[in-house]
Amino acid sequence: MKYIILFFFFICSITLSYTQEICGTEHFITSEKGKNFYVQLNEYIQKEFPSVKSNKTTTVIPLVFHIVYNAPQQNIHDSVIYRQLDILNNDFQRKNADTNNTPSAFKSVSGALDVEFCLAKQTPNGQSTTGILRVQTATTSFASPVNYAVPDPIKRTNMGGSDSWNTEKYINIWICNLTGSTAYTAPKGNFLPGDDGIVCHYNHIGLTNGYPYNKGRSIVHEMGHYFGLKHIWGDDNGTCAGTDFINDTPNQANYSTNCPSFPLVDACSPNSPGVMFMNYMDYSEDACRNMFTQGQVNYMIAGMNFTIPNIHNPTTCSFPTEISEKHFSQIVSFYPNPFSDNLLVSFSAPLQNGTLRIKDLNGKTVHLLQYITADSEKINTSLLTEGIYFLEIFDENFYSIKKLIKIK
């Protein structure tokens, strides 16, 4: 009998853990305040979108991560943040390695958003920062809000959290021990001043063991909300009458679970190709989600113009300065520097899900390699202009960056 009880306790524990993997933003979307916000946003987009769409400038967005921890395991390593930043840029720019998993029926409507996320390098007062704040708290856990007229504790230093930075100039992301959901978003202008931003459980950021949301796409999903997107099924509880206001996403009865096989049909889309369960705004497992549509991209461009028109700020956006030169030299070597048409990078030990990036002085990625397994990489740099660059290399346990100089 004892073993039977333990077995059922184990099964229930798994079930409880899994039921928490739901976006807490749904509370806001289905509230009267949320419904009014999305109606106003859609009216604005229908009226103003033609002028917004003509803007071809890459939007550079500084992020600040607030790591609010009570226990040591919640105080995640900087490398986890760097990995999450990489995932955000790849997924929004459609440079993710799993684009080939998008079914051919939906590839024609897939889209890429011309945005560059990076860590803030300046505080609101102009001081230097890494863009990663660490706050130890006596609060053991934080919950997704259901009342938007009261302060959100995670975003208040005097309530055990961490005060937000200027939400006109930065996107704030809080990492904590979150109960009830994987993550949630407070879209700009809908909550109390300073409460705008994204909150995520510490076990669901970057590449983690927090299956099934373990590939960093919880924050990709929430960033979609921050830019104005609703859930792909329209949050209508299966009536087929709801809408996400996007013309190129199929009508969908409810959220998807697990990792479905294609095609997946339902009452709202009963014929192939069915519903778009691989969309970032669904609830499928991280391994199954791999796309935004062009309609969603257009909507996000207009949504940013509606809610955060002044967020583009490359002067306050960068990535960390050089660190741990001795550690770097033990793991990575590169030649020559200054370099011209080619750069050879060698590794003394295998990287774990390694990533290599070359960035310019503005923090923009000009060369990217992912999932590195070879012991060396020869990089063609002939197309780079003369100047200063930064070689950024990281994996699950290591991060470092070195300055490079390109010559003729």
* Single-letter amino acid, residue 296: Q
The C-alpha atoms of residue 347 and residue 46 are separated, in whole angstroms, by 52
Q: Please, what's the b/e burial string for 315-348 (b: 16 or more CB within 10 A of its CB; e: otherwise)?
A: ebbbbbeeeeeeebeebbebeeeebeeebebebe
* Single-letter amino acid, residue 278: M
CA-only gyration radius of the chain, Å: 22
- Residue 168 catalytic? no
Strand 354-359, strand 365-372: pairing: antiparallel
- Closest to 120 (Cα-Cα) out of 369, 364, 313, 341: 313
Sign (positive or negative) of CA dihedral 49, 51, 53, 58: negative
Quote the distance between the C-alpha of residue 332 and its chain's center: 28
User: Contact 33/192 with Cβ under 8 angstroms?
Assistant: no
- Write the DSSP string, 44-96: HHHHHHHHHHT--SPEEEEEEEEEEESSGGGS--HHHHHHHHHHHHHHHTT--
Q: Please, what's the b/e burial string for 277-311 (b: 16 or more CB within 10 A of its CB; e: otherwise)?
A: bbbbbbbbbbbbbbbbbbbbbbbbbbbbbbbbeeb
The C-alpha atoms of residue 138 and residue 125 are separated, in whole angstroms, by 28
User: Contact 288/30 with Cβ under 8 angstroms?
Assistant: no
3-class SS at 139?
coil
The C-alpha atoms of residue 227 and residue 196 are separated, in whole angstroms, by 12
For residue 374, count other CB atoms closer than 10 A to its CB. 13
Which one is catalytic: 21, 26, 116, 222? 222
Catalytically annotated residues: 222
